[in-house]
Every structure is written in C-alpha cells, then in structure tokens.
Amino acid sequence: MGESMKRAFMARYENHITALSDYLEDLPDTDEPFWILGRRYHIKSERPALLLDISSRLWFTYRKKFSPIGGTGPSSDAGWGCMLRCGQMILAQTLVCCHLGREWRWEKDKRQPEPYSRILKCFLDRKDSCYSIHQMAQMGVGEGKSVGEWFGPNTVAQVLKKLALFDEWNTLAVYVSMDNTIVIEDIKKLCKIHHKNKNSTTDTSAQAGAFSYNHIHLHKSRTGRSHAASGYHSIWKPLLLLVPLRLGINHINPVYIESLKECFKMPQSLGVLGGKPNNAYYFIGFVGDELIYLDPHSTQSAIDPESSKVVDDVSYHCQRIPQRMKIVNLDPSVALGFFCKDEKEFDCWCSFVHKDILKKPSFRMFELVQKHPEHWPPFVPPTKPEVSTTGAEFVESADKLFESEEEFEILNA
C-alpha cells in the first residue's frame, strides 16, 4: 500500500473511531469537580456553563483541499498533522486570553468582537496566515521534520517559538524550557521591552522588541546608571510559557499525576499537548482520574474567506460531548502551557508552582530557578531575522537562533 493510500485509510479510520466515541457516553454524573483551564465546575449544577466553556475553545482539526504546502506538497494534513493542530489550539487559547480574556464565550450566530475574527484568521489554512498549517509544517523543516512527518510536543513548541517572532500584532514572548528547568531571570529578560520615556527620543518601532535587552544592559554597565535614570521604562510582553517534559519511559509515571492535575487548576493554564502514540490531543482539563481533551482527528474541508470578510467559524468550535481518557494511558511526552499577560501574573504563577508543584522535591515534574545556570550558554532573547516572509526561505536563518531537544520526541504524532 502506497504512503498516500495509507494516510487516506488512517484518516478515514480515525474519523470513524472519533464519530463512534463521541456518542458512547455522556459526561459522568459525579460529585468530583471538573477543571477546565483554571476554572472549576460542578456537573450537577453547572453543566451548561461547563459545556459552553469547552465549546468556546478554538478547535482545529485535519483539513483537506487547501493550497499545497510549499506549492507542491500535500493539500491535506489528514494522518500526520494532529500535533500541529494541537499546537494551533494551545496558541489560539493564548491569543484568546490575551485579547478577549479567559471569561469570553462563543455562541453560534452571536456577533463576536473584532479581535476574535482576527485571531481566527491567524490560523486559516493559507500560506500567508501567520500560524497556518503551511507555516508550521515548513518551519518544522528547521527542526528536522519533513513536511508530512509527525511532530512531537517539543518540536511544536520550538516551531511556535520561531513563528511568534514574525507576529507583529501579538508580539508574544514565547519561552520554551530546557532540561526540565524554567529560569525566572531569563523569562524577565525575554518579556521586558525597554523604551525611552516621552521626554527622551522615543523609539516607536513595532519591531520587537524594539530595543534589544542586551543594548540596554550594556548601556547600564558602561554608565553605571539605571534604566529609569537613563530615561527608559519597561513594558512586559505577554508570555506564552511552554514546558516540554518526559514524565516516564513508556508510560506516565504515576508519581507525576497529582502535579499534572495541579497545572490544570492554575489560572494561567493553557492546557497540555500530548496524547498516545500516533494520536495527539489537546488536553484542557480533568475530572477524577480522566483527562478531558479536544481531538483534532476529524477531516473537514478547508475554508477560504476570500469572498467574505467574515469567516464561517462554526467548524472551529467542537459542540459535541468532550472526550476523555484515563491519565494513566497518557504518553509520557507532553508539553505544558501557561499564559501570563503581565509580570504580576507571572509572579503569581511562580508562587503557585512553589506551593503546588515543588512541595514534593522527589516528585517534581520540573524545576523553577531564579538565576540562569552558570554551566548553560548565555541567554540571549531572540530577535526577528532580517527576512520578509515566514515561509521555508527563512528556515535556515531562523534555525540558528534555537536548539532542538530531540530527547522529548518519543511521541510520534
């Protein structure tokens, strides 16, 4: 059987299984709380609110009949793009929190605020959309993944980090942890943009970061004057924090399960990228010992909004009963996601981590440290390469800014 036939068969099989599983059972009638991205619900009294919250998340699935990736590549991601779609979902949730707020809700046929439409257009299946399947697949080439090859959660995290450099609307700071370690000092370097005060010559450029941190730091070291005394003030860029982890060898180690649950309870939670071998899911919460997830394994036709200014968005919201899986069945390769809109939220997140994740030193999923480890290479916040597009042309230049961590890539989807 040829490769294209195999993928077509897999796509039909996945769609069939998904369709069946959606109707096998309802949500459990339990007294245990449901946690969805930092929000707590009781199914017996808050079922409509729970389902509305879940259906409001942007849902990205396989698509077909889009323009070929790279001009001659595949025109569908069925059978290989599930982790890329999950990466789109966690990033979309980031943008929703940034522009609309965590309390925003979507309802069919209800007029939505302008930023919603703009967020959705970032993910359309077009080569010129900032976070399209085209951009993600081509950027993956720089991470050693051919177009049409399965990604793991760490590769998707690295791809999002690179693509965010070209997103001038959102100006996100994307931090991907290394060696299970999150460095507070590095995150604050990454997120703080330094501008001149109004009574100084103002740098109004929308480019990243505008003024590089190293330039400011050098200025201070040479003059001995603080940023404030030199006429500078700091602005915090919204932070997308991604934490790729291995929580076991072949299966998740049960010692990490309670800490994983705590992550979904944090107000800054964006959920978790992960799944099972050859099947990636976007996990948005849990109830008891089951994870709740959005499944990208349905193939829909691509939407081209050329003829209309308004995108038909119904197919981007899952309105079925959410699916669940036992936490013990989770593949150990995962990537945790968190969003901190400002420095205060990041400081609060650090407090949550110290209180709820690091309280058992022998069972820590990751480390949170104040200072950059001395044995690591110096941390330099990345800047946008001098190129005009976000296609395959800049993969080589952008790749020089980052290092891939292939040890996380056990998950094959």
CA 30/CA 158 separation, integer angstroms: 39
Helix, strand, or coil (residue 41): strand
Main-chain phi, psi angles of 70, to 5 degrees: 75, 10
Place of tokens 């291995």: 246
Which residue do the tokens 């090859």 mark? 149
Residues 119/99, Cβ–Cβ less than 8 Å: yes
Structure tokens at 37: 């991205």
Question: Quick one: 255 exposed, middle or buried, by C-beta within 10 A (0-12, 13-18, 19+)?
Answer: middle
Contact in structure between 41 and 33 (CB atoms under 8 Å)? yes
Whether 79 contacts 10, CB under 8 Å: yes
Region class of 288: left (phi > 0), else alpha (psi between -120 and 50), else beta: left
By DSSP bridging, strand 269-276 and strand 279-287 are antiparallel
Active-site residues, by number, are 82, 295, 297
CA–CA separation, 74 and 7 (whole Å)? 11
What is the Cα–Cα distance from 378 to 137, expressed in whole angstroms? 29
Using CA atoms in the order 393, 399, 400, 405, what is the torsion angle rounded to 10 degrees? -170
Give the integer Cα–Cα distance in Å for 237 and 221: 24
Tokens of 242: 């991604």
Task: Report phi then psi at 89, rounded to 5.
Answer: -65, -40
